[in-house]
Each structure stands twice: as structure tokens, then as C-alpha cells.
Chains A and B, each alone.
Chain A
Amino acid sequence: MNASQPYDAAIIGGGVIGCATALNLARGGMRVVLFESDGLCRAASGRNAGTLTMLYTRATLIPYAIRGREMWRDAKEWLGRDAGFHHRHGLELAFSEEVAEELAVQHRLRSEAGAAIEMIGGNRAREIEPALSEDIVGAAYSEIDGYAKSYGIGILFHAALRDAGVTVHDGTPVLGVEPGPGGHVVRWAAGEAAARLVVMTSNVWIGKMAAWFGVHFPIAIRVNQGTISERIRPLFKSILRVPNELSLKQFEDGTVLMGGGRGEHWVEDADQGDVQQDINIINSKMAGAAECAQRVVPALREGRVVRTWTGYEGFTPDNQPLIGPMPGVEGVYVAACLRSGFTIGPFAGQLLADQLLGREPEMPVFASEFDPARVVGMEPYDTEGPSQVA
């Protein structure tokens, strides 16, 4: 293979979306190179809670999430490796009638979008999940929920990408993309590569990349958090969540993962995380998660917390993803800031690849509500507004 021969596609950002896109493009016959600043799936894609849920997915994204979840279930088929998928029931919990009513309204939209979500009372919730607190008065219930292993996904992708012939440049931050013969030139510290198409799958870093083209995307960067317990005797099986506070699950090894925590935490620049993340908020969210977890499953009181960590999520002004062409730049595409991005990621990568390979995608991917151009000039997401905690 001629090294100076341009690649058909350069993918910038090796999270779950970038990896899945690269994999599908290569399998579709393209010569693909993937750039990742750090290690594959080391950012949000390796730090997330791994929940494959309908209950917290935005209604517009429900059909995509259903397919994404199936793809994690069938990971052996397309990734060549098991991804630790487990089917679980999902329950979003209400401690008051008022909240139960709010849940009913929100979930009606999701149900209309294809998610089988049912409103149930507290007793029925406790039948499904006996560990639940007596204080729970109602719940939204989805038979379809579950999780996949989120850590270690990068190792799986690495092997699959290698098998598919993708050139992976990890530990390689891309510094810029410029027009070049046959398309574009992707530049990094130690070299450059020519590519016909460029796909930017850099999530919270998409704002920085758009600036290379003089395009301004208003992206807010939220710090999400996970807190894990030591191994505890089996207490509950369902995936539990408390609106605007917490997601809760117990893995087979007995550890309990608490996702989120009360309060919002935002930074301006993901590359300045060390100084911009506020340890007091992180601590307070961890404590809040612990408090909420035992409110939901009282038996957790005696469990012990081992560790907490953070990761970034990108928010667009309208909270819909950016998927489509980079405004005004031929041959450069964006797929970023996708809510429930771990769940949907593999499917998003497949759809995007089909689109770029000139095939008919299974579902619309360059849809107008995802079109990156729409956010240019919009006011940024209101970080002071009502909480959107996953």
C-alpha cells in the first residue's frame, strides 16, 4: 500500500462513535485512518455507566437506542467479541405522587417513540424489585433495559479495527485539518496524512475542531460522575434511577455503580479539567449519590464506597446531537454530543458509515434535527436551567 496515497476517510476521535464509524467504513471497503489523542474509548466511552436504557433516552433518540442496545447484545456478531451485555428491567422511581405524574408525562413521549414503558405503583415496583424502599410510590417501568461493560471496550475495538485493516493512531492529538490535494490534510505533531473524507467524532472537543474551519459551535461541557462500591452480597437486579439524581445498578460481581449525583457540574474547557473540575462538587456529588442510593435500596446502607470518577458529556443548545456535514466545508462530517451515546454509539457509527458509503441507512442519520448547521449562532445550552442528569 502506498503510504502517500490518500486515505478514503480519516476519523478524528476514538470514542465509541469514532471506533464504530471507522470499523464500518473499513468493512465497507474504504481505507481508513483513526486518530485518538489518548487511548481508544478512554474518555466518556470508557468511563460511562454502561446503561443501555430507554428510560433516560430522549424521545427522538428512542428508535436509535433500541437498535444500539441490540447491537451491544449482539456484539459478538459485529465486534467479534462479547461486550458483557446483560438484560435487566429498568425502573425510574418516584418518591411522591407529584413526581410520578411528571414521569407519566415524560414517558408518554418515549412510549410514542417506540419504547414500551408502563407506569406502575409502588407495590408493583417492589414486586419487580423487592429491595426497593417502602417510600417509593410509583415508577416508570421498562422491561427492556440492561448494561454492557463500558470499561475495556477500547481493547475490543482495537482488535476489531486491526482485523478490519484500519490504521489506528492513538496517543495522537490532531492539530488541524487543511484543504489538500484529493481532499484534506490531517496534521498532527509528528506528521500528516491526506484523506478524501474527514469525520469528527470528538464529542466535547468538537467546538475546538469546528474552530479550525472558522465555525462556532456553542458546546457546554458537563462533568458526569460515577461512584462504585465494594462487592456487596446480591441485593437487587434491576437498573434503577431517580429523576435528576442517580442511576443505580448492581453488577454480577456484587459491585454497585451509582451514576450521577445531585447537582450540576460544568467546565469551560475539557483540556483544563485538572484545574476546572471542582473537587468540592465532585465530593458533594459522591456523597449525594451515596445518600440517594440508600434511600432507594435501604440495604445499601452497610455497603462501602470504593471510588468515584468523572467524565465529560457535550451539550448542544437544544440537546440534540450534531450529526451531518460541517457547515460550509466539503467532505468534512461531524458526529458528536449524542445523549445516551454509549447505548446508541455502535448504531450511530453504522448509520454514519452507511451514509458515507452511499448506502441507504437503516434510519435517518443526516436528519434536519441533527444538522450541525442549526446550532451556529444559537445561545449555548442553559447550564443554569433545569437539570438533565442521567
Chain B
Amino acid sequence: MNTAAPVVIVGAGPAGATAALSLAEAGISSVLLDDNGAAGGQVWRTGAADLGPPLAYTDARGDELRRDLKRHGDLIDHRTGHEVVGLFPDLRLWVLEGGETVTSLHPKAIVVATGALEVFAPVPGWTRPGVYGLGGLQALMKTSRVVPDGPVVLGGAGPLLRLVAAQLASFGAEIAAVVDAAPWPSSGQVLRLASQPGLLAKGLAFEWGLLRRGIPVHRGSAIVEVAGDEEADSVLVAPVDENWRPVDGPRRRLEARVVGLGYGVRSNVELTRLAGCEHTFSASRGGWHATRNRDMETTVENLFLAGDGGGIGGVEVALAEGVIAAASVSERLGQGDRLKTKAAKARGRMVDLVRFQDALADWSGVRPGILAGSTEDTIICRCEDVTRGEIAAAVAAGYTDIGPVKMNTRAGMGLCQGRTCTPALQAIMASETGRPLAEAGLPTSRAPLRPVPLKALAQLPLDEAVE
């Protein structure tokens, strides 16, 4: 194993894999780490071979990417099932292998390409069996073609909502309704979305897939409760205001055995936080993300960031940023500017893509109203069973920043380390303090990001750790 590779790339989605492939093109070897069994990331996630019929609305680029990685196996050391659980300002990494052993790497340059996380809005009953994240439902289809039984109601916003609905429907799932917090896009928004005709056409295809099957879409509405004895058996749908806060108005109860929830995606900032990068909040990019210069370098030297992890941009942006990051790394390592032209082209493509993304966020980017749409007793942090009431009590006791609230309530301190509840926690704090969402702050992240066996930690090379 080549542990001395000068470049480590974290995440084998479109951004990370493209960075590795571009570097290989320039003759530079890299280690590509990803926690999944195969490359592709979220968008091109795949399972074992012979899954049967392809998933609707997917393209072949994922398979191409996996073929290319294999072809460049001499230069790209792609390690599946490797999760980075530590990244420190001196570019040292901790890598958890198969959930069992931890090793330490110390490359010259790192490209973080860890993509996005789904945004959940806790509502009463959201922890019942039968409730899934949209991405979770999609991942089941992508990796094993599992399609849920019984009436399905999907709620949330953004492209993923209708994509997952259309994909499930194409596999014969019984979609009872889609509940979309966003209204129809305005004509101005449609005009701006049309700046990328290909992407807009994709979106319209999802929409058409629903319409054709007669699946009702309730717009400007949200699932505000999941009811059931133990398991989910129905949802309550209510209208929301322009901030997506549930408001008075006609409510309807819909039968649902399976409920999919998802309010879009946000950058996964765990590693960049840990490394000490500067972060910024931008509503049009899915909230918090690390800042970078035009070469994709963060405020930590030799730490580059590409793809959705640096602000939500979607697949096409991720691909372009992967190229740019690779070009910057190549130059930084003194390996020449062979990727310069390619990077310049990628930069050109990005201008329009970013405009599209802005329009998309303007229409369907998550609004805090629904994230804080919980009641007093709603569990917000499901790892530690912390209710909204407990969070409100902490705010009332003078803890108005996210760190102290976490410390006092244990919200976000459990197994998932806040991956699920952080956006809701921030929105609830903003709502309780009356401050803008951005001022609720961003939690610190700490190594290990994922639970690590004591015996593995104990084996970490400590010689290098103590002066």
C-alpha cells in the first residue's frame, strides 16, 4: 500500500473521482478514500452488479467513472470502505478501515470532496418506524432495488424530492402524494432556470413522471406530523408560509405506510471544520460551507475542497471543481501546468452553472420555518432523545450559541454527531432567539467523526503525536 502518496482525496463522488482522474492524467498518483463499497458518491451510488433494470433518470456516467478509476489503477489507489474520521490542520488524517482499524496518513496536499448531507425537518412522529430520509429511500433503490410497500407519501422540497418520487413510481411503488414546501416557481425563476436548458429539462422530466401517473403534488405545504400506533400509518399535511412555517389553513390527513422526508441538502462540513478552515453561511449554497479561493484552496494551506462539500452546486459543478482542484494541486506540487487548459474550461462552465444553482435555491432552497416546525415534545436529536422543549429551555437559560446548547442538552452529541439534527437545532435556536439563522453558528466538529473502537484508537501511532 502506498501510504506515502503525496495527495489524498477524500470522497469518490463526482468531484473527488474527477480530481483523482485529472491528477492521473497529469501523471500524479493519489490515494482516493471513500466509505462506500464503490465510487460514484451520492448521485452515482451503486450496489453489486446484476441489480436488474436500471434506475430511472440516471445516466451512464457513474459506470464510466468507475471504469476510468479502474483503468488508472496504477496511479489511483482507490480504497473503498475507508472513512476519514480525523483531519487536522497539519494535514494529518485518521482513516477508519472497515469500522475496525485506524491508520494515520500525512500527505502533502488533500482534496476534500465529501459532498452533501440531507436536511431533515423534525416534526411530531418523525422518529416512527416507516419514516425515512429521501436519500435513504433512494439509496435502497440504487444499491439493491428495494422499493417500499404500501402507500408512500414524500415530503420536502427541491429536485431530490421529485426525483425520488419519480424513481420510486417507475419501480411501481404506490406514491399517494408528494408534499412540496415550495410553491410553483415564478416565471422569473423559470426564466433563470432556463439558463441551463439541459438541467431544466431533467427537472421537467421528473415533474412529468409524476403528472403522467396522476400522483398529486401538494405545493406550498408540508408534512407537519406523522401519526400511527407504533409505525407510521398517516401524515398530516398543512399549508406553509413563504418562510415555510406551518400556518393555519385546511389540513388534510393522508394514509401512509412509508414516509420519505427531505428538505434538500447541505454541505458536509465535518472535515473542513475539524481542519480549522474558515466557514461562511450562504443561503443560496445550502447554508454553511468552508470558504475557498478560485483555485479551490481553503484557508488551510494545501487543503483543497471540491464539490457539494464547498457549497451546494450539483453534479455538474462538482465535476468542474474536481478538475480545478486537481489543476491547483498539480501546480502546488510543482508538477507543471498540464491541467491548466482543462481547468480554464471548467471555470468557464461554472459561471452559468452557478447562476442556475442560484435560481434553484431561490425557488426551493430550504427555509428555516419548517426546520423549526416542531412542537415542544418533538424529539429533535434522536441519538440522545432531546426534545425541542429542552433546547428552548437552554436558550431561555441564556445559551444562545450552538456549542453551549449542545453541551447543556446533549443534542447533536450522540452517535451521529449531529449529522441529522444540526440544521433543525440551528433553526430552532434562531427562532427562539429571534436572530437570523446564520447567527445560530456552526457546531465544532471533533475527531473521531465516527465512533472508533477503543482498541483501534489505542493502536494509533503516538510517537508522532507527543513532542
**Beta-carbon contact of A263 and B451 below 8 Å:** no
**Beta-carbon contact of B446 and A308 below 8 Å:** yes
Known: A39-B404, A301-B453, A305-B448. A154 touches B465 (CB 8 A): no
- Chain B hits for A376, CB < 8 A: none
State the Cβ distance, A93 to closest chain B Cβ, in Å. Answer: 17
Does B250 belong to the interface (CB within 8 Å)?
A: no
**Beta-carbon contact of B458 and A291 below 8 Å:** yes
Counting chain B CB atoms within 10 Å of each CB, which of A168, A303, A305 scores highest?
A: A305
Does B4 belong to the interface (CB within 8 Å)?
A: no
**Beta-carbon contact of B393 and A155 below 8 Å:** yes
Does A355 belong to the interface (CB within 8 Å)?
A: no
- Chain B hits for A38, CB < 8 A: 404
Does A78 belong to the interface (CB within 8 Å)?
A: no
Q: How far is the CA of A294 from the CA of B465 in the complex (A)?
A: 20
Does B334 belong to the interface (CB within 8 Å)?
A: no
- Chain B hits for A302, CB < 8 A: 453-455
Q: How far is the CA of A169 from the CA of B401 in the complex (A)?
A: 15
Number of B residues contacting the other chain (C-beta, 8 Å)?
35
Does B462 belong to the interface (CB within 8 Å)?
A: yes
**Beta-carbon contact of B466 and A230 below 8 Å:** no
Does B56 belong to the interface (CB within 8 Å)?
A: no
Closest to B460 in A: A287
Quick one: CB contact mask for A257-301 with B, threshold 8 Å, 1 for yes?
000000100000000000000111101101110110110000011
**Beta-carbon contact of A306 and B414 below 8 Å:** yes
- Chain B hits for A308, CB < 8 A: 446-447
**Beta-carbon contact of A303 and B399 below 8 Å:** no
Contact residues of B between 401 and 421, Cβ < 8 Å to A: 401, 404, 407-410, 413-415, 417
- Chain A hits for B88, CB < 8 A: 279-280, 283
Closest to B457 in A: A290
Q: How far is the CA of A306 from the CA of B401 in the complex (A)?
A: 22
**Beta-carbon contact of B451 and A230 below 8 Å:** yes
- Chain B hits for A168, CB < 8 A: 398
Q: How far is the CA of A294 from the CA of B454 in the complex (A)?
A: 7
Does B400 belong to the interface (CB within 8 Å)?
A: yes
**Beta-carbon contact of B415 and A42 below 8 Å:** no
- Chain A hits for B464, CB < 8 A: 280
Does B50 belong to the interface (CB within 8 Å)?
A: no
Q: How far is the CA of A263 from the CA of B462 in the complex (A)?
A: 12
**Beta-carbon contact of B413 and A152 below 8 Å:** no
Contact residues of B between 139 and 193, Cβ < 8 Å to A: none
- Chain B hits for A82, CB < 8 A: none
Does B467 belong to the interface (CB within 8 Å)?
A: yes
Known: A42-B399, A159-B397, A300-B454. A151 touches B407 (CB 8 A): yes
State the Cβ distance, A83 to closest chain B Cβ, in Å. Answer: 13
State the Cβ distance, B141 to closest chain A Cβ, in Å. Answer: 30
Does B89 belong to the interface (CB within 8 Å)?
A: yes
- Chain B hits for A263, CB < 8 A: 466
State the Cβ distance, A124 to closest chain B Cβ, in Å. Answer: 26
**Beta-carbon contact of A154 and B448 below 8 Å:** no
Does A234 belong to the interface (CB within 8 Å)?
A: no
**Beta-carbon contact of A306 and B415 below 8 Å:** yes
Quick one: CB contact mask for B232-246 with A, threshold 8 Å, 1 for yes?
000000000000000
**Beta-carbon contact of B451 and A151 below 8 Å:** no
Does B306 belong to the interface (CB within 8 Å)?
A: no
Does B350 belong to the interface (CB within 8 Å)?
A: no
Contact residues of A between 294 and 320, Cβ < 8 Å to B: 294, 300-309
Q: How far is the CA of A159 from the CA of B398 in the complex (A)?
A: 11
- Chain B hits for A154, CB < 8 A: 397-399, 404, 408
- Chain B hits for A306, CB < 8 A: 413-415, 417, 448, 451
**Beta-carbon contact of B410 and A151 below 8 Å:** yes
**Beta-carbon contact of A171 and B398 below 8 Å:** yes
- Chain A hits for B466, CB < 8 A: 263, 280-281, 284
- Chain B hits for A281, CB < 8 A: 465-467
**Beta-carbon contact of A283 and B465 below 8 Å:** yes
**Beta-carbon contact of A151 and B408 below 8 Å:** yes
Known: A40-B397, A283-B460. A152 touches B454 (CB 8 A): no
Does A170 belong to the interface (CB within 8 Å)?
A: yes
Counting chain A CB atoms within 10 Å of each CB, which of B393, B414, B452 scores highest?
A: B452
Contact residues of A between 358 and 384, Cβ < 8 Å to B: none
Contact residues of B between 62 and 88, Cβ < 8 Å to A: 86, 88
Does B17 belong to the interface (CB within 8 Å)?
A: no
Known: A279-B89, A283-B460. A155 touches B397 (CB 8 A): yes
**Beta-carbon contact of A287 and B397 below 8 Å:** no
Q: How far is the CA of A19 from the CA of B38 in the complex (A)?
A: 54
**Beta-carbon contact of B454 and A307 below 8 Å:** no
Q: How far is the CA of A278 from the CA of B89 in the complex (A)?
A: 11
Q: How far is the CA of A300 from the CA of B404 in the complex (A)?
A: 29
Does B318 belong to the interface (CB within 8 Å)?
A: no
Does A241 belong to the interface (CB within 8 Å)?
A: no
Does A47 belong to the interface (CB within 8 Å)?
A: yes
Does A46 belong to the interface (CB within 8 Å)?
A: yes
Does A167 belong to the interface (CB within 8 Å)?
A: no
Counting chain B CB atoms within 10 Å of each CB, which of A229, A278, A294, A307 scores highest?
A: A307
Known: A151-B407, A309-B446. A39 touches B465 (CB 8 A): no
Does A158 belong to the interface (CB within 8 Å)?
A: yes
Q: How far is the CA of A294 from the CA of B452 in the complex (A)?
A: 14
State the Cβ distance, B303 to closest chain A Cβ, in Å. Answer: 15
- Chain A hits for B446, CB < 8 A: 307-309
Does B323 belong to the interface (CB within 8 Å)?
A: no
Does B359 belong to the interface (CB within 8 Å)?
A: no
- Chain A hits for B89, CB < 8 A: 279
Known: A39-B399, A154-B399, A283-B460. A304 touches B452 (CB 8 A): yes
Does B19 belong to the interface (CB within 8 Å)?
A: no
Closest to B276 in A: A274
Q: How far is the CA of A309 from the CA of B447 in the complex (A)?
A: 10
Instruction: Jot down 11 A-B pairs with beta carbons below 8 A, ordered by A.
Output: A154-B404, A155-B393, A158-B397, A279-B88, A279-B89, A280-B465, A280-B466, A301-B453, A304-B451, A304-B453, A304-B454
Known pairs A154-B399, A307-B448; list 20 more (Cβ under 8 Å): A39-B404, A40-B397, A46-B408, A151-B408, A151-B410, A152-B408, A170-B398, A230-B451, A280-B464, A280-B467, A283-B460, A283-B465, A284-B465, A286-B457, A287-B458, A290-B458, A303-B454, A306-B448, A308-B446, A308-B447
Q: Which 6 A-B pairs have the closest CB atoms?
A: A304-B451, A291-B458, A284-B465, A158-B397, A290-B457, A170-B398
Chain B contact residues, CB within 8 Å of chain A: 86, 88-89, 393-394, 397-401, 404, 407-410, 413-415, 417, 446-448, 451-455, 457-458, 460, 462, 464-467
